[in-house]
Structure 1
Amino acid sequence: MSAFPNPSAVQTKSVPTWRQQDAKPFVQIEQITKQFGQFTAVNSVSLDIYRNELFCLLGGSGSGKSTLLRMLAGFEEPTSGRILIDGVDMTGIPPWERPVNMMFQSYALFPHLSVEANVAFGLKREGIKSPEVNRRVSEILDMVQLGHLAKRKPHMLSGGQRQRVALARALVKRPKLLLLDEPLGALDKKLREETQFELMRLQDELGITFVVVTHDQEEAMTLATRIGVMNNGEIVQTAEPHEVYEYPKSRFVAEFIGNVNLFDGVVVEDERDSVSIQSPDLDALLQVDHGISCAPNQEVSVAIRPEKIYISREPVDIEVNGAMGIISDVAYMGSQSVFKVRLASGKELRITQPNVSREMGSRLTWEDNVYLSWDPDSCVVLMS
């Protein structure tokens, strides 16, 4: 019988743990700061991660995400603050005594050992008897679909297979928390996409809490139950993937996650259910169908995702939420086409359109005069 937890007993998919008012966090990061001399790598971060989450820390180079992960693992000691895992304060507890395992980007497999010997290494170091080691290694290799390759050496495996060996080695010790630092970074795009779903399946089957560090926005959006976006050592937004994308809290998040068109402007009318903004980049008024709390004439930014802009050669009303321009660039990407449209003000907008037809004759192309429009609920007002 498997000793791994039953995920159905840990979390119901209809009501995620982090939405339950009485849920207790599994990982509690409380006001964690890490300084290296005069440099602050992580600045007063507080974060709750719940049992059976696949949580992603997302940020660019130098954002502090890997340093935060290393503090969870115990490889770095916080300058201040504390970390609790399953209610236990980890202050002063060394890595090997924490209920945590970590998978590194390099995989760090022993080249002279077989797949099964690599996976068994940590168990044997703990003095576990051979029959139990063999049973657990066989179980986890079957889970990652590598049982038939147990006798092979790492150099005889593909990149995706080596990644799964490293994952099996991290999981076989049955940690309460698995930390993954850029786990798919060494794989090519297609294999990375396939492995993302494999990782999600394993996490769901095993019921283990995963914390993944990545700089890849698409990877975080695919994998995560929730995302913590990091910048300059701080977490600037924590939310489910669709919320981070559709409702960014700041200009940085809007620009970092996916592609976005931004208009800087001034609030000219603030009603209970809508707000109107005048931007020097547009002749039209920007109208958003939700009010904001702001001072008169406050400067704001309006974010509109490229796929939410309608583009057509046919004239449309552009007095509100609209514009006219010329296509300056086109990129055909198979499932969609990307258009860059230059407005009269000189501002260039990015628009994406799905390619639902194979026919090329009627498609928009370079130097076409086009009309753009968007719905009021497609705009997000950003205060910073």
Structure 2
Amino acid sequence: MSVSSVMPQTTSQAKPSWRQTDAEPFVRIEQITKQFGDFTAVNNVSLDIYQNELFCLLGGSGSGKSTLLRMLAGFEAPTSGRIIIDGVDMSHTPPWERPVNMMFQSYALFPHLSVEANVAFGLKREGLPNAEVKKRVADILDMVQLGHLARRKPHMLSGGQRQRVALARSLVKQPKLLLLDEPLGALDKKLREETQFELMRLQEELGITFIVVTHDQEEAMTLATRIGVMNHGVIVQTAEPHDMYEYPSNRFVAEFIGNVNMFEGTVVTDERDSATVHCNDLQGLVYLDHGISCASNQSVSVAIRPEKLRITRDAPNTPHNRCEGVITEVAYMGSQSIYKVRLASGCEVRVTQPNAQRDSGDRLTWDDHVHLSWDPDSSVVLTS
């Protein structure tokens, strides 16, 4: 029997489980805390993850994401709280009795064994018949496009090929849940980007729930159905990539995910369908086309992504959402250009513009006086 034949298949037309109010979570983390002496690595975390998700735990070093992953795997016992997988409390179940497999960043391949022997190792330890082991190994190697390299040793493979061997070894045992700890961290940038799409293809084809730990924001944004951002042992926001980027819940998330310009301001007006915030650095008003539910004179932060800003030599015809300054830095990145603009207030603003045309004529450059403007729906007001 092939690996794919025993796994539920996903359908792109189906409404995602996490958007269904009556869907039962496949993994439920209930008020999990993990302490090492006086240090709290994970602090009262609750999280639901659904069948067939590719969920990313994203955070910096020491945020608690790897500790949470190790508790899911059974390598660490929670100090308090529960971990429920497929309806069963696994909080104190040893790793070898959980329907879970884990792929480590180092891949941990046996150097003296061939590719097929590495993949078959766990199945043979379980005592499966040789014919079934051979069939399942051949199926999974074909799925990761390594069937033609089955007899090679790990040292004869590229980094990306070793990564796929480790993935095949994790998948061949048909786990209900696959945990991946920085799975692409050892690959170079171009190969990492290619492998991200390969990982997504496999996850969708097999229908296995993946939980990926990463510190790479772009990787999480590319891979994930949803992202959980961790900081100091707590999850500060859980959302789909688009919502995480466009609607961060607080300043930490806004600054952690991608690039952002942040301005301190004071609420001037707040109506049901509009609001204005005065920002000293912008020397003017930020106008929003929606209410923000804040008190008058409340201090807030206004976040504007660099790509939301328009940069022109001519002044925009608008009383709000505008400022001006001088270009101090220019970086040509191929697909886009990055400009740093110093405003009259001394504040420096980052602007990115796509290079849609090969020759754009009179290019903006250092020391040019420019005007910046943005739409009413381009800024986000943050109260924390």
TM-score by length of 2: 0.98
- The 2-side partners of 1:299 and 1:98 are apart by 49
Partner residue of 1:65?
65
Structure 1 residue 365 corresponds to structure 2 residue 365: yes
Partner residue of 1:211?
211
- The 1-side partners of 2:104 and 2:83 are apart by 21
Partner residue of 1:250?
250
Partner residue of 2:192?
192
TM-aligned CA distance change 1:118 to 1:9, over 3 Å: closer
Partner residue of 2:268?
268
| Bigger mean CA offset, 235-244 vs 289-298 | 289-298
How many Å apart are 1:362 and its aligned residue? 1.1
TM-aligned CA distance change 1:71 to 1:357, over 3 Å: same
Structure 1 residue 354 corresponds to structure 2 residue 373: no
Alignment of 1:14-29 (within 5 A): 14-29=14-29
CA-to-partner distance for each residue in 1:48-92, whole Å, 9 max, x for gaps? Answer: 000000000000000000000000000000000000000000022
How many Å apart are 1:4 and its aligned residue? 3.3
- The 2-side partners of 1:14 and 1:309 are apart by 36
Structure 1 residue 202 corresponds to structure 2 residue 239: no
The alignment partner of 1:138 has SS state of: helix
- The 2-side partners of 1:156 and 1:325 are apart by 55
Contact 1:227 1:241 in 2 (8 A): yes
How many Å apart are 1:296 and its aligned residue? 2.0
Partner residue of 1:302?
302
Gaps of 5+ in 2: none
CA-to-partner distance for each residue in 1:343-375, whole Å, 9 max, x for gaps? Answer: 000000000000011126411100000010000
How many Å apart are 1:318 and its aligned residue? 5.4
The alignment partner of 2:219 has SS state of: helix
How many Å apart are 1:317 and its aligned residue? 3.3
Partner residue of 1:311?
311
2:75 is matched by which residue type in structure 1? F
Gaps of 5+ in 1: none
Contact 2:304 2:379 in 1 (8 A): yes
The alignment partner of 1:219 has SS state of: helix
The alignment partner of 1:377 has SS state of: coil
| Bigger mean CA offset, 83-92 vs 314-323 | 314-323
How many Å apart are 1:319 and its aligned residue? 3.0
1:363 is matched by which residue type in structure 2? R
The alignment partner of 2:4 has SS state of: coil
TM-aligned CA distance change 1:315 to 1:295, over 3 Å: closer
Partner residue of 1:116?
116
- The 1-side partners of 2:7 and 2:252 are apart by 35
How many Å apart are 1:309 and its aligned residue? 0.3
Partner residue of 1:342?
342
Partner residue of 1:141?
141
- The 1-side partners of 2:287 and 2:361 are apart by 35
CA-to-partner distance for each residue in 1:236-293, whole Å, 9 max, x for gaps? Answer: 0001000000000000000000000111110011111111101110122111111122
1:201 is matched by which residue type in structure 2? R
How many Å apart are 1:5 and its aligned residue? 5.6
Root mean square deviation, CA, Å: 1.2
Partner residue of 2:278?
278
- The 1-side partners of 2:58 and 2:37 are apart by 25
Partner residue of 2:32?
32
The alignment partner of 2:200 has SS state of: helix
- The 2-side partners of 1:297 and 1:240 are apart by 32
Structure 1 residue 79 corresponds to structure 2 residue 79: yes
Partner residue of 2:52?
52
- The 2-side partners of 1:80 and 1:325 are apart by 54
Contact 2:309 2:351 in 1 (8 A): yes
- The 1-side partners of 2:11 and 2:79 are apart by 34
Contact 2:28 2:84 in 1 (8 A): yes
- The 1-side partners of 2:97 and 2:279 are apart by 57
The alignment partner of 1:317 has SS state of: coil
Contact 1:5 1:208 in 2 (8 A): no
**Sequence identity of aligned pairs in percent?**
76
TM-aligned CA distance change 1:14 to 1:367, over 3 Å: farther
Partner residue of 2:327?
327
The alignment partner of 1:63 has SS state of: coil
1:302 is matched by which residue type in structure 2? V
| Bigger mean CA offset, 71-80 vs 12-21 | 12-21
TM-score by length of 1: 0.98
2:254 is matched by which residue type in structure 1? A
